[in-house]
Amino acid sequence: MAMTDDAAVPEDDLDGHTLEELGEYLDRGREPRDPSIENSAACRLALANLTRLTELSARALRQEADREPDRDEVWIAGLLDAIRSEVRSGRDIPVRHPDPTLRLALTEAAVRGMIRRAGDTMGGVIMGRCTLDGDVSAPGAVVRIDVTCALEFGLPVAVAADRLRERIRYALERHTELTVGAIDVTVDDVYPHREERE
């Protein structure tokens, strides 16, 4: 059974750029425009993930940094590692087309992006790692999804995990032809409730 996880991504997977360079480019408001970044699908995906990370966690990170600076650095490093791995295109996932001469495919990175978006837009969840376990290139093969996430304090873990599973399954059934088996959700962190952060 093939498995692709969130291993470290070589710098050349970002078309010659580093995450640090992309972060600085984002901090400058993507100005002056850099065609080598803007014309790279991997760089645009990394920029989208860095933007989403900033939007989701800015307040929580400030609050946690005041209380537990060492833990905060580890948490941020873990999220950045997940982003690095998410930009790797990974395996091709075939998409059927009525014309047999056409070969269409989604990249594994695009599917991970769908999964991340399903969680990040749920409210109370910050997605971590995502693994597609199974032969995604074989139509009809069952694929297991394994994700980690941080949960806002006070949310019932079982209810949030079930809701996240439903959202992931819906997104994958709607946008891919994967045969999704189990969706394993691991809550590996808790962050402060919104009122506590303000």
Instruction: Give 147-160 pLDDT, tens digit per residue.
Output: 999 999 999 999 99
Neighbours of 12 (CB within 10 A): 9
Give the Cα separation of 87 and 6 in Å (integer): 10
Instruction: State residue 24's pLDDT score.
Output: 80
pLDDT, averaged across the chain: 79
Assign 1 a pLDDT band (cuts: 50, 70, 90): very low
Give the Cα separation of 116 and 105 in Å (integer): 19
Assign 59 a pLDDT band (cuts: 50, 70, 90): low
Question: 197, 129, 142, 128: which is closest to 172 by C-alpha?
Answer: 142
pLDDT at 178 over 90: yes
Backbone angles phi, psi at 192, to 5 degrees: -60, 150
Please enumerate in sequence order all residues whose Cβ is within 8 A of that of 156, keeping only pairs 6 or more positions apart, or say none: none
| Cα dihedral: 19, 25, 29, 32 (round 10) | -150
Contact call for residues 174 and 163 (beta carbons, < 8 A): no
Can you name the CATH fold of 3-197?
Alpha-Beta Plaits (3.30.70)
Distance of CA 51 to the CA centre of its chain: 12
Contact call for residues 90 and 113 (beta carbons, < 8 A): no
In the chain, where the domains are located: 3-197
Contact call for residues 169 and 185 (beta carbons, < 8 A): no
Q: What is the pLDDT of residues 68-124, one digit of tens each?
A: 555 566 666 766 666 666 556 678 888 888 888 888 888 888 888 889 889 988 989
Instruction: State residue 96's pLDDT score.
Output: 83
What angle in degrees, to the nearest 10, is found between the helix axes of 69-86 and 41-67?
A: 170
The token duo for 130 is 């995502």
Q: What is the pTM of this model?
A: 0.62
Which residue is associated with the tokens 């939007």? 55
Which residue is associated with the tokens 């291993």? 7
Contact call for residues 119 and 137 (beta carbons, < 8 A): no
